[in-house]
């Protein structure tokens, strides 16, 4: 099953919720994982089940990065706030880098997220 991570910084959580609601049918076909509060909010506002990792500052980004390194992640939607400094910036940079190293699609904007989700859904329907 296609495994996708959903991550959003605080200012981007409303956009992530809107994305999850708009793509709920597609996302329901995926094995979803996400960081703490993002996962909790998605599950509260949709019928989706999301495996919860730690919050980003508590190691959630690193946990998801480990899954990328292990070949267990097919795509990541990380709606991040590029204008606000994050206390766990090294973890964020490591996650972005590990996605590049392992050629895992990573979307950091709403438009890119839609392309990644639609592409993963199309690839999954070819199986």
**How many Cβ atoms are within 10 Å of 71's Cβ, its own excluded?**
9
Q: Which of 31, 61, 74, 126 is catalytic?
A: 61
Ligand-binding site membership of 102 (annotated) = no
Ligand-binding site membership of 46 (annotated) = no
User: Is 61 annotated as catalytic?
Assistant: yes
The Cα–Cα gap between 37 and 6 comes to: 11
Ligand-binding site membership of 124 (annotated) = no
**How many Cβ atoms are within 10 Å of 83's Cβ, its own excluded?**
6
Tell me the backbone φ, ψ of residue 71, rounded to 5 degrees: 75, 25
Ligand-binding site membership of 56 (annotated) = yes
Ligand-binding site membership of 13 (annotated) = yes
Binding site, by residue number, is 9, 13, 35-38, 55-56, 88
Catalytic residues: 61
Binding site for substrate, by residue number, is 9, 13, 35-38, 55-56, 88
């Amino acid at each position: 099953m296609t495994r996708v991570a959903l991550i959003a910084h605080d200012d981007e959580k409303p956009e992530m919720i809107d994305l999850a609601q708009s793509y709920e049918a597609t996302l329901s076909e995926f094995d979803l994982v996400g960081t703490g509060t993002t996962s909790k909010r998605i599950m509260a506002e949709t019928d989706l089940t999301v495996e919860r990792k730690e919050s980003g500052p508590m190691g959630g980004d690193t946990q998801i990065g480990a899954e990328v390194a292990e070949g267990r992640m097919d795509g990541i939607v990380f709606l991040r706030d590029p204008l606000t400094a994050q206390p766990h910036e090294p973890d964020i940079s490591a996650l972005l880098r590990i996605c590049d190293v392992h050629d895992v699609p990573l979307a950091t904007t709403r438009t890119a997220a839609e392309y990644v989700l639609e592409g993963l859904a199309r690839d999954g329907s070819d199986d």
